[in-house]
Amino acid sequence: NAGVTQTPKFRILKIGQSMTLQCTQDMNHNYMYWYRQDPGMGLKLIYYSVGAGITDKGEVPNGYNVSRSTTEDFPLRLELAAPSQTSVYFCASSPSGTSVAEELFFGEGSRLTVL
């Protein structure tokens, strides 16, 4: 019963470095999402995907890229890390995305610090 798995759990980056946060789900969900959470703030949607090969921007996409080559995987890439990207990142998935009341299933989060 793995659910949504994110790696790494913690990472420290230097300004200008690049990295990829990995996200895998084993529930055969169509929809996947990346959120970020800053201290004292709610989660903000970065990107989402409605299925393999289809991605779209959320509320705060600048500085990030995503891809969805398979149903299971939805990696988030930071190309040129900046201190403003210091945050906790959550990956989530949902079965079909066809209901406004559909439950999202979250990973445990990845804490990223950019120095």
> 8, 69, 103, 113: which one contacts other proteins (CB under 8 A)?
103
Residue 13 C-beta: closest distance to other proteins, Å: 22
> 99, 111, 112, 113: which one contacts other proteins (CB under 8 A)?
99
> 34, 48, 74, 89: which one contacts other proteins (CB under 8 A)?
48
Spatial neighbors of 44 by CB under 8 A, at least 6 apart, are 35, 36, 37, 38, 58, 59, 60
Spatial neighbors of 62 by CB under 8 A, at least 6 apart, are none
> 24, 31, 78, 87: which one contacts other proteins (CB under 8 A)?
31
Cα(14)–Cα(31) distance, rounded to whole angstroms? 32
Q: What are phi and psi of 27, to 5 degrees?
A: -105, 5
- Pick the stretch among 11-19, 20-28, 34-42, 70-78 that binds other proteins (CB under 8 A): 34-42
Which tokens hold the place of 3? 């659910």
Q: Give residues in contact with other proteins (CB under 8 A).
A: 4, 31, 33, 35, 37, 40-45, 48, 58, 90, 92, 94, 97-109
